[in-house]
Amino acid sequence: MNFNSKLPNVGTTIFTIMSALANEHKAINLSQGFPNYPSSQKLNDLVTKAMNTGYNQYAPMAGNLDLRLAIAHKYELLYKSSYHPEKEITVTAGATQAIYTIISAFVKPNDEVIIFKPAYDCYQPAIELNGGKTIPVQLSAPNYSVNWDEVASKISPKTKMIIINSPHNPSGTIWSKDDMLQLQKITENTNIIVLSDEVYEHIVFDDAQHQSACLFSDLKQRSFITASFGKTFHNTGWKIGYCCAPEALMSEFRKVHQFNVFSVHHPSQKGIADYMQDAETYLGLNTFFQRKRDLFLNLISESRFKFQPSQGTYFQVLDYSEITDEYDVDFAKRLTKEFKIASIPLSVFNEKDKDDKVLRFCFAKTDETLLKAAEVLKHI
């Protein structure tokens, strides 16, 4: 059969490659971004209870109402920001579906979408499948700071959307209030939509504050915020997330959402809604992951890897330039095969495979796994 691929440049992702290599070589796998410890028993029990008490048919298209109320309450509590549970919040099959649906609902052929690289890998294919053009802004290790004049220079009459992500996967950096104000300033009086990917909003370290797009009034009016319960409640396999946005944007979103997924797993939504009644379930995440970050970094402090402590997410970037000048993909593969530890090379998220000699390690792992991993890294 002859057909022209709509995504001719998309192959197997680095996550699949590194995890397969880790399995083959029985390596400690700090490559993929998910926990290797169980999801909370209380939450599991609440989902089971939801199944046993009748939450087994389609949820409303926008999501279980208890969950939307719990999400709205969270925005009031954390940011004093209101989202109407009926009109401005939609539950999705993970943040990935929210992101894909937002892009599909708005990006038309030849529209431009600005993204910051290194970028999470689902943005660009979604833009291109919808005929849009990705306009990259390349950031650099170790700070990944944004030159806002450069961003402003890339805005054109064709700019439909800007996608941002703080806390940032893969670099583990966060945006400051000033960054958000700059973004607000350059989008003011435009029709640019902002997609603010905030899946790591509850994982911010050293008493820093997460700068949600909803905290900035003009930005909020043009923004979708996407979020992931998988990241927050240690169960990435459940694929439950959500997005919120002002009513006019959300009603466009729902035009697509109702036909590409309609509604998502109902008992999980009800279980999460009940679990979230205790705000500590998400507010405790900063401390939980900061302890893991510190454990990992203390253990490798004598190694030849250099680092700036992660500011957010559950990823730590390590600079290996004192060890070798190998290309990062080659070095990551060699570490997996020879030293039995798997990581993710950052060049794959960059423009033209820019190689800053850094690897990403996931510390959402048991202490035992982190101890074993550090023991290996100390001897490289």
Positions in the binding site for ligand PLP (CB under 6 A): 33, 94-96, 120, 165, 169, 197, 199, 228, 230, 236, 241
Please choose, from the candidates 214, 215, 238, the residue with its C-alpha nearest in 3D space to the C-alpha of residue 228.
238
CB nearer to ligand PLP: give 35 or 94. Answer: 94
Query: Token digits for 297?
Result: 């970094």
CB nearer to ligand PLP: give 33 or 35. Answer: 33
> Residue 379 half-sphere exposure, CB side, CA atoms within 13 Å?
9
CB nearer to ligand PLP: give 359 or 374. Answer: 359
CB nearer to ligand PLP: give 197 or 303. Answer: 197
In angstroms, give the least distance from the CB of 164 to ligand PLP.
10
CB nearer to ligand PLP: give 228 or 290. Answer: 228
Amino acid at 130: N
Please choose, from the candidates 184, 189, 244, the residue with its C-alpha nearest in 3D space to the C-alpha of residue 63.
244
In angstroms, give the least distance from the CB of 17 to ligand PLP.
16
In angstroms, give the least distance from the CB of 94 to ligand PLP.
3
CB nearer to ligand PLP: give 256 or 299. Answer: 256
CB nearer to ligand PLP: give 130 or 228. Answer: 228
In angstroms, give the least distance from the CB of 324 to ligand PLP.
27
In angstroms, give the least distance from the CB of 11 to ligand PLP.
19
Burial zone of 122 (CB within 10 Å; 0-12 exposed, 13-18 middle, 19+ buried) = middle
DSSP 8-state code for residue 93: S
Give 293's strand partners: none
In angstroms, give the least distance from the CB of 236 to ligand PLP.
5
In angstroms, give the least distance from the CB of 234 to ligand PLP.
12
- The answer to whether the peptide bond before residue 170 is cis (omega within 30 degrees of 0) is yes
